[in-house]
Amino acid sequence: MDIITNICAVVNDEATALKQVEASIRHNNEDYLELVKQIIALNGRLIFTGVGKSGHIGRKLAATFASMGTPAFFVHATEAMHGDLGMITPNDLVIAISNSGETKETTTVIAPIHRIGAKVAALTGNKNSLLARECDYLILVHVAREADQYNLAPTNSSTAALAVGDAIALTVAKAKGFSEKDFGMLHPGGSLGKRLVQEGVIK
């Protein structure tokens, strides 16, 4: 095996998957439009849930939204069923992530969230899944296959979910007029904060 050739092949495979997702969004975008409108008008918090690799993606997306001015956090789907549902209010919007849309821990939590009164969006690669049917909005992020040779490891699917989530976060921030100064107010530490202070963005 040529190591560099294999690495480049995986990178190319994931890039191709993203292009396919972009084309899909252009042709099936009603739920995307509605979800962005709901997030912009949200009076509560944006909450992500999931398990496994989808959970890791949810944690990162919650951090991205929060850093771009939309209050957001992650609730582990399993922990939600053991008391963490108390972190969700009727004014919140929950995004449940599962590529298959059949992950038991994630699908099980949808009905209790609805009983609380919060809306739920499914971020999934399977439009016919239980998760897609049970949620209020469907954010379809379908990839043809994963990047590994056995089509098993979450790679193309997790990259696509992350990219779509980032795209929605930045679109919402732009629509809300989120400025460089706003960004600076939320990033006072580290190299970013230091640079923004030096440039006079943060005073």
Q: What count of residues does the chain have?
A: 203
Distance CA 13, CA 145 (A): 9
In a domain, 184, yes or no: no
Helix (H, G, I), strand (E, B) or coil at 76: strand
Whole-number pLDDT of residue 71? 97
Whole-number pLDDT of residue 197? 73
Whole-number pLDDT of residue 186? 87
In a domain, 195, yes or no: no
In a domain, 185, yes or no: no
Residue 113 near residue 87 (C-beta atoms within 8 A): no
Whole-number pLDDT of residue 125? 97
CATH of the domain at 89: 3.40.50.10490
Residue 51 near residue 78 (C-beta atoms within 8 A): yes
Domain extent, residue 107, equals 3-177
Sign for the pseudo-dihedral over CA of 6, 60, 53, 46: negative
Whole-number pLDDT of residue 192? 75
Going across the sheet that includes 93-97, the strands are 72-76, 46-50, 93-97, 119-124, 137-140
In a domain, 170, yes or no: yes
In a domain, 190, yes or no: no
In a domain, 200, yes or no: no
Indicate the number of domains in the chain: 1
Distance CA 21, CA 73 (A): 25
pLDDT in tens, the chain (203 residues): 799 999 999 999 999 999 999 999 999 889 999 999 999 999 999 999 999 999 999 999 999 999 999 999 999 999 999 999 999 999 999 999 999 999 999 999 999 999 999 999 999 999 999 999 999 999 999 999 999 999 999 999 999 999 999 999 999 999 999 998 888 888 888 787 778 777 777 77
In a domain, 194, yes or no: no
Whole-number pLDDT of residue 11? 97
Sign for the pseudo-dihedral over CA of 148, 152, 154, 156: positive
In a domain, 65, yes or no: yes
